[in-house]
Structure 1
Amino acid sequence: DARASAGHARQFTVDATTSFIGAAAECPSLESIVVRSGIEVYGRHQGSLTRPDETTPVRPSSEYGHMLARLESAARDAGRMVGVPVTALRLAPVLGPHVPSPLGRLLRHPVVPFSLLADPPFTVVEDSDAARAFVAAAERRLDQPVNVVAPGAITGLQALRRGKRIPLPLVGPEWVLARAVSHLMGAPMPDHVMEVMHRGRLADGSAAADLLGVAPSISTAAVIDLLYAWPGIVRVTRPVEAVA
């Protein structure tokens, strides 16, 4: 959730991957493996495809992307060892009212940076659409990756205008300073989130409907609108009992 350092997050991911996949591989009734990956595995290198599909080589350019690529590799190795199919769901950044998301936290700040020179588009996916993809993947038992992204795209500036946030235009080195300030404000900006705002992040999700039988129905713009509609504070009131 971006509140751990990159080193701790990497170690937590390695430990969790080893524990969960190792335990699953020892289960005699195991029929398939579905892992949560992300479109960050494609990377945003110079010359990278703008909208990669599932046949695009994995070439991550962020620490989170590398962690996801290692997770996919570990799952494939376990699947081959026990002879079960492995589905890697490569999700766009997931946003939902109860989903810890560094991108969501950043976009909800009153002042949010965006790339002045490019303002590239990105996509997301709503948490309920992502959940349906997991259920479908478990039923289909595919042995391949599947991109799961919401229809459409949006730029950073467009998202901020929809949320009535104050846009802070940045160029080049200013992003390093913005990342430090964002951390101090309580919304850490890991490198994969900075990539989204600075270089964009899209993927071709057209195969999902055929492969999974379902596809995200909530558009990227609608997911962003929902992000800004969620209350910042949920107050829980206690019933007051009358005392005679």
Structure 2
Amino acid sequence: MADSPVVTDVLMPLMDLTGVAEAAEQAREEIDRLLAHNRLRRNSAPVSAEAALRGAHASAALEGAAYDLEAVRAGAVTNTVVQGALRVSGALGSLVDTWAVAPRQVLARLHLLAARDTVEESRLGRPDFEEPARLDALMDLLTGPTEVPAVIVSAVVQGELLAMKPFPGPNGLVARAAGRLVLVQRGLDPKAVSVPDAGHFAREPEYRGAAATYATGTADGVRAWLRHCCAAIAAGAAEGRAICDLV
């Protein structure tokens, strides 16, 4: 009988980058603190709903559509990017199971939701860029085995989509939603009660700088991005705890 092929965990070397393993562990500990909140033991739905709203607000702001949170909550903001972010955030829960087996299909759906009324209908859900092999590799990574923490997988997914810009229009909304789906689907935040995008928005200059350095592909650039994402996820967990205290 022929030997079984050796499966290589291509993400595992990332854990050897200085400070990455420690940052990932800290992010996980902050999420665990959130999930232990008494409010979530009774009814997590109101917390998830508020987290979704705040996440959409932050993601839209990172896409250049910054509006007052209370105005967004009241439905007073008709900006197409904000509306796309709200549609995306509201749909994430229904996409978790499909994400695990058909991430390309989910990305197309996310773009349709994010970019409706922003790009031509014929371009919705259709990747349009010069590196299809890179997107194929990312899809293979998502459906393949790995022992790397969910926070790192999430960071890589978002970083790759931000770097590739495979979709026309508000590609960042898609990238951040994909990173969010990783955290939910891989069980780190199964109730979707953290707000990682709020963590990114609170560190916007760092977010943009780290994303740019990730795109260079250097070890230092990748490390900076991964550590930023871990810090943002930890901050998003703190935002979730604040929501628990309020609702």
TM range (shorter): under 0.3
Higher relative contact order (CA 8 A, sep 6+): 2
User: Which structure has the greater CA radius of gyration?
Assistant: 1
Q: Higher helix share goes to which structure?
A: 2
Q: Higher strand share goes to which structure?
A: 1
**TM-score normalized with structure 1 length:** 0.27
**TM-score normalized with structure 2 length:** 0.27
